[in-house]
Structure 1
C-alpha cells in the first residue's frame, strides 16, 4: 500500500531541508500566515530536489497570529487575500515549470471551513479556478468535503498524525492540553490504526470511522523531525510505501 505523508513548510521554522527526505507532499505557506517570494522559492527548490509533491497553503491574512485565530473578514477581503496568495505561489512555480499538486488551507481557515457551510462554499467559489487538475486536501466527514464533492472538486482525505480528535472528528483545540501528539510511538500507533482499520481513537476513547489519503505532520511541532523520520521508517517496515 502507498501512504502520502505531508508537512506544512515554508513557515519560518527552517527545518524543511531535514524533513523533506521523509515526506511525499508538502504545503508551502504563500504569504497569508507566513511567506514571501524568497521563502516560497527556497521551499519549492527543496521539494523538487526531494521529489516531493508541491501544494499551496493559503491562510487568513494574519501573520500576527500565524493564521491560527478565527478572523471576521468580508467576503471580498477573503477573496482578495486568497487569490493574491495563490497567484503569488503559481507565479513562483512557473519559474521552475512545476505544476501545483494540491491546495490545503491553513490553521483557523482550515478548521472553519470544516464546519461552516457558508464559508466552505465561499472558499470553493474563490479557489475553484485554481483547482483544475489540482486536489483539495480536506478532512473526512467535514462540511468542506461535502461542498467540494457537490461542486465536482477533486479531493484527498487528510488526517493529522500529530493531533488528537474529538468525537465529531474535528481537531482538539490547541488550547487544550492534549491537542498535540508529540511522542513518536503515540503518533505511529495513531497513524497505523487509521491506515489498517480506518479508525481513529478520539480523545474520549471512542473509535470512529475515518478515511485517509494523506497524513499531516506540522513542522512547528517541537520534535517534528524525530516524528516524521520515525513514522517514515516504521511505516515502511509495516510494508507501506511513502509516496
Structure 2
C-alpha cells in the first residue's frame, strides 16, 4: 500500500471554512477569479497556506461565475489557452509577492471534466501551463486526456482521485447533475480511499470494480461538512500509517 499521499482541497471559493480545512490538507487549489475569488481572496488563501506549510496551486476555470465554473461551455482551444495562462499569471504574481512558490495546477469544474475527455482542450491547458511555468505539477486523473496532454508537454503529473465523488464504469466522475454524484459519509470515503491505495481499485455506482491510480486525493472545499470530512479522512489514513504530504516536483 502507498505510504504517502497528498490530500488536496479547492479553496478561495467563499465557502467560509478555508482556515479550518488548512489544518488537514497538504495542497490547496486556489480559485483564480474566473469561477470564484479575486485578488484579495487569492492573497488571503496563499498567506494562510504559507502559515500552515501547505503547498499551493492555481485552480483555473472557464469564465463563468454565474454557474461556479461547473457548466460545460463551447469555447475555442485558443480561448482556453489564453484563459488558463491569464489565470496562472495572476496567481503566480500574487504568490511571488508573498514569497511563495506555487507547486501545481488543477483545472476546475467543467474545464477539468471536459479536458479529461477532450484531447484538444487538454492540450490547450497543458501548453498554457508550460508557457507560464513548465515545472508546475498538473493534477489530472490517470489515463485521462488531460494527463496524456500534460505528459506530452513534459509536465510532471500527479494522478488525482476523489474521496467525496462517485465514479462511473468508464472511470470518470458521476456528473453533479445526478443525485448520486457525491459520497457524503466520511467513514465510507476513508475505506474507499484505503482500498484505492491498497488495491488500486474503486467500486463504480454501477457496481463494477475499476482501476484507479492516485498520488493526490481531492476533498471539495465547498461541499457541506467538508471540514469534518477532511478531518476524519486524514485521521483514518494516518491510523494506517499513511503520511500526508504534497507531491514534490522541482519547485518544492
TM-score, normalised by the number of residues in structure 2: 0.94
Which of these residues, 207, 210, 213, is aligned with residue 208 of structure 1? 210
Identify the residue that residue 160 of structure 1 maps to in structure 2.
Answer: 162
Give the conservation status (yes or no) of the 8 Å contact 1:131–1:153. no
Which of these residues, 131, 145, 148, is aligned with residue 147 of structure 2? 145
Identify the residue that residue 49 of structure 1 maps to in structure 2.
Answer: 51
Identify the residue that residue 230 of structure 1 maps to in structure 2.
Answer: 232
Output aligned runs, 1:81-92, within 5 Å.
81-92=83-94
Residue 172 (str. 1) matches residue 167 (str. 2): no
Other structure's SS at 2:117 match: coil
CA distance in 2, matches of 1:227, 1:87: 32
Output aligned runs, 1:6-155, within 5 Å.
6-155=8-157
Q: 1:71: how far off?
A: 0.9
Paired residues, what number? 243
Identify the residue that residue 5 of structure 2 maps to in structure 1.
Answer: 3
Runs of 4+ in structure 1 over 4 Å off: none
CA distance in 2, matches of 1:32, 1:240: 35
Other structure's SS at 2:149 match: helix
Q: Deviations over 1:106-142 (max 9, x none)?
A: 0000000000111111222222123422100010111
CA distance in 2, matches of 1:113, 1:195: 25
Q: 1:82: how far off?
A: 1.8
Q: Deviations over 1:154-184 (max 9, x none)?
A: 1100001000000111000011111000111
CA distance in 2, matches of 1:197, 1:188: 14
Which shifted more, 154-163 or 186-195?
186-195
Identify the residue that residue 248 of structure 2 maps to in structure 1.
Answer: none
Other structure's SS at 2:16 match: coil
Structure 2: runs of 5 or more not aligned: 246-252
Other structure's SS at 1:78 match: helix
RMSD (CA atoms)? 1.1
Give the conservation status (yes or no) of the 8 Å contact 2:62–2:110. yes
CA distance in 1, matches of 2:180, 2:108: 20
